[in-house]
Structure 1
Amino acid sequence: MLSEQSVPVVRATLPAVGAALGEITDRFYARLFSAHPELLRDLFNRGNQADGTQKQALAGAIAGFAGMLVDRPGTRPDAVLSRIAHKHASLGVTSEQYKTVQRHLFDAIAEVLGDAVTPAVAAAWDEVYWLMANALIAREAQLYETAGVVEGDVWRPMLVTGRHRETPDVVSFTLRAADGGPNGRFLPGQYVGVQAELPDGARQIRQYSLSRGPGRAEWRISVKRLRSGPGPEGEVSSWLHANLGAGQTVMVSAPFGGLTLPEGDGPLLLASAGVGVTPMLSMLDELATTGSARRVIVAHADRSPDDHAHRDELARLAAALPHGECHLWYEDPDGCAPGARAGRTDLGALELPEGLTAYLCGPLPYLRAVRGDLLHHGVPAADIHYEVFGPDLWLGQE
């Protein structure tokens, strides 16, 4: 909660700061990477920097958090903060790095806003920053403790034991600990960071869901190759597709991610699009392995049956549940997927039971559309959970 003296200062300056956040984040990242080029090379996603989405996410996080502090002082965007903390943990972010970010961010604010940044304004916004930063640091400390690792020390080599092409654009890799020890436990729905050493020497990191349940001897990730033309976007997935094979080792983080299978016996909706099916496969595998009697509604959308990674596996796992059902939508059904519907996901075609808990994973437009449909059908917002891969541009809409 903001101090009494800071609330009116932040409220009065929020419009000006918000209007300038685009320029502030541009200057911030320029300063940060000039002073610490290793952060862009080995920590920050170069694709998200190139297309501007990371800057948008940072600006949205600052503005959204500050607005909540002054307008709803008794609340905090815990779901958003948790998603950010899990992502940071999978990158090995440390508490010391928040000090580096603060220094370059506030230098950028002073450069853009000039004399408007009085000592009182600087102190108030510093308080905003550290309220958010300390919340993240505390959550990340809990995640590291749960994972049984020292702060930031999340990496270990894993051996690729197999490679399988699922679709023209998706390849699965099976993994086990390179030292022959146990892989370790994870919760169904979690992801790992994967570090790729690229030809220019960068060690870029991307997150991939574990696409089978935790009861398996080996982990599996399913990597979709992004085809966005030249530039850094898609550089890691393309490298993994072209270079990673059985017998090689790759650096993999401990598992993180808050979109996990809930305990209990209430009905579930597992809704996904594209490669967003991967955490749902892990949840379904665990449900089938444990003989769950829950009602489970699977709803998946894709471009076509040929583009649907793990299509047969998804249907088989849903059918293995006594109260499981699988509904498919394809933009181009092409006649080879009996029972699939044409077009995009239509929850109005399904019978949604009372007490439903929904889990969503897919592109942001898909998440927005399906979440809106669920709210329209009376599912409480608190019972709708989603995972965003890439910068979270949906801040403040919990």
Structure 2
Amino acid sequence: MLSEQSTATVRATLPAVRAAIGEIAARFYEGLFAAHPELLRDLFNRGNQASGVQRQALAGSIAAFAGHLVERPDERPDVMLSRIAHKHASLGIAPEQYPIVHEHLFAAIAEVLGDAVTPEVAAAWDEVYWLMANALIALEKRLYAQHEAGSSGWRTWEVVGRDEETADVAAFRMRPADGGPLPDFRAGQYVSVRVTLPDGARQIRQYSLAGAPGSPERRIGVKRVRDEGSPDGEVSNHLHTHVGVGGTLEVSAPYGDLVLDDTDAPVLLASAGIGVTPMIAMLEQLALTGHRAPVTVVHADRSPADHALRADHEAYADKLADSAVHFWYERDAEGAGRSGRADLSSVPVASGTRAYLCGPLPFMRAVRAQLLGKGVAAADIHYEVFGPDLWLAQD
């Protein structure tokens, strides 16, 4: 809990910090990467840095955390902290990296806000930072402890199968190269994949596990990102171009807090684009456990040809006792689904439904709003956010 004195100071200065977030973030990353170039090479997403989309992520998360502390002092933002902790654990973030971030972040704040950063203001925001950092360190320690290695659990996996799902999505099926046991996971979780690129950089990306627990293999779906003239997509393009059957990948232990609950309640699974992958894992799990309550499947995509894992979507839904499938396509929808963007206005949603969402943030916000309008409780709507938008999805 933030001290009373710091609460007043943070409340008074929060508007100025929020207004300057963009400049603070830019100065922060410039200073951090100048002092620690290895972090950009081997930890941070170079594509997101080059495009600018990640510039506000860290500073923005601290501002969001600070806003929560002053607006709801008796309620810890556990959802936000859990999401960030799982992401950090999947990257192998260590406690000793937090002081490094602190040093460069506060140097950027002082540089941008100048004389407004009095000793009192600096102390208040220092308290905010370490409240958040220590909460994350504790959560990440518990996550690491769940995996015997006490770290992110990096291991070498062999690709035993590759399926071209669409022109831009390949599904890689993997087994541990050492022949050891597969780590347990829950439907909806993801793994990090670390690749060494031609320039020596070791870049990391997260991919959802597209299959139910218990399989002798693990499967991920990788969408090729086609952004010409930018390093964005360099990992997905590397995997598509250079990794086939017999190849190996460095893969982390499974993480992620968007997981299918053990429930007898009705379930709704909504996805868009490559967000389908964790929904497939959940749908298969429901089918394997003989779920009896209604299951509603919602998916939106550019076209049927772009709909990865569509055959699995339909096959697992067909195995359920009570299921309804609703597909929307922006083009070529005739005979395959509805035309246009996902619209749940005419989709029946059973009372007591638990909903799980994965896809672009605008899609999830729109679906969430419609579900709330249909009477689904906010606490029963769960969603996964990848990339720098993670801290934005707090409502």
After the TM superposition, which of the residue ranges 102-111 and 284-293 deviates more from structure 2?
284-293
Partner of 1:107: 107
One-letter amino acid of the structure 2 residue matched with residue 136 of structure 1? L
2:108 and 2:340 mapped to 1: Cα distance? 46
> CA 1:148–1:294 in structure 2 vs 1: closer, same or farther (change >3 Å)?
farther
- Aligned-partner SS, 1:217: coil
- Are residue 377 (structure 1) and residue 374 (structure 2) matched? yes
CA offset at residue 97 of structure 1?
A: 0.6
- Are residue 116 (structure 1) and residue 113 (structure 2) matched? no
Where do residues 274-285 of structure 1 align in structure 2 (5 Å cutoff)?
A: 274-285=273-284
Partner of 1:187: 186
- Are residue 351 (structure 1) and residue 348 (structure 2) matched? yes
CA offset at residue 60 of structure 1?
A: 2.3
Aligned length: 395
Partner of 2:48: 48
One-letter amino acid of the structure 2 residue matched with residue 123 of structure 1? A
Partners of 2:89 and 2:152 within 8 A in 1: no
Partners of 1:305 and 1:336 within 8 A in 2: no
CA offset at residue 149 of structure 1?
A: 2.8
Q: For residues 217-238 of structure 1, give each alpha carbon's deviation from its aligned partner in whole angstroms, at most 9, with x where no partner exists.
A: 0000010001122211111101
Q: For residues 90-117 of structure 1, give each alpha carbon's deviation from its aligned partner in whole angstroms, at most 9, with x where no partner exists.
A: 1001111111100111111111122221
2:187 and 2:181 mapped to 1: Cα distance? 17
Partner of 1:368: 365
After the TM superposition, which of the residue ranges 61-70 and 272-281 deviates more from structure 2?
61-70
Partner of 1:69: 69
One-letter amino acid of the structure 1 residue matched with residue 224 of structure 2? R
> CA 1:268–1:334 in structure 2 vs 1: closer, same or farther (change >3 Å)?
closer
Partner of 2:289: 290
Partner of 1:5: 5
Where do residues 220-369 of structure 1 align in structure 2 (5 Å cutoff)?
A: 220-337=219-336, 340-369=337-366
Partner of 1:135: 135
Partners of 2:385 and 2:393 within 8 A in 1: no
Partners of 1:333 and 1:341 within 8 A in 2: no
2:229 and 2:372 mapped to 1: Cα distance? 39
Partners of 1:188 and 1:214 within 8 A in 2: yes
1:204 and 1:144 mapped to 2: Cα distance? 21
Partners of 2:361 and 2:393 within 8 A in 1: no
1:335 and 1:113 mapped to 2: Cα distance? 56
Partner of 1:390: 387
Partners of 1:227 and 1:234 within 8 A in 2: yes
Partner of 1:177: 176
One-letter amino acid of the structure 2 residue matched with residue 294 of structure 1? A
Partners of 1:60 and 1:393 within 8 A in 2: no
After the TM superposition, which of the residue ranges 171-180 and 377-386 deviates more from structure 2?
377-386
- Aligned-partner SS, 1:174: strand
CA offset at residue 369 of structure 1?
A: 1.0
CA RMSD, 1 decimal:
1.3
- Percent identical across equivalent pairs? 63
1:250 and 1:148 mapped to 2: Cα distance? 20
- Aligned-partner SS, 1:25: helix
Q: For residues 209-263 of structure 1, give each alpha carbon's deviation from its aligned partner in whole angstroms, at most 9, with x where no partner exists.
A: 0001112100000100011222111111011000001111110000001111111
1:60 and 1:279 mapped to 2: Cα distance? 27
**Structure 1 residues not aligned, in runs of 5+:** none
Q: For residues 50-84 of structure 1, give each alpha carbon's deviation from its aligned partner in whole angstroms, at most 9, with x where no partner exists.
A: 12221222232122111111121111221111111
- Aligned-partner SS, 1:392: helix
> CA 1:244–1:396 in structure 2 vs 1: closer, same or farther (change >3 Å)?
closer
CA offset at residue 393 of structure 1?
A: 5.1
1:276 and 1:396 mapped to 2: Cα distance? 16
> TM-score of the superposition, structure 1-length normalised?
0.96
Partners of 1:64 and 1:396 within 8 A in 2: no
- Aligned-partner SS, 1:282: helix
Partners of 1:298 and 1:325 within 8 A in 2: yes
> TM-score of the superposition, structure 2-length normalised?
0.97
- Aligned-partner SS, 1:195: strand
CA offset at residue 153 of structure 1?
A: 4.1
Partner of 2:88: 88
- Are residue 15 (structure 1) and residue 15 (structure 2) matched? yes
- Aligned-partner SS, 2:299: strand
1:102 and 1:195 mapped to 2: Cα distance? 26
One-letter amino acid of the structure 2 residue matched with residue 18 of structure 1? R
CA offset at residue 317 of structure 1?
A: 0.2
CA offset at residue 154 of structure 1?
A: 2.1
2:289 and 2:378 mapped to 1: Cα distance? 28
Q: For residues 305-335 of structure 1, give each alpha carbon's deviation from its aligned partner in whole angstroms, at most 9, with x where no partner exists.
A: 1110111111010010111221111111343
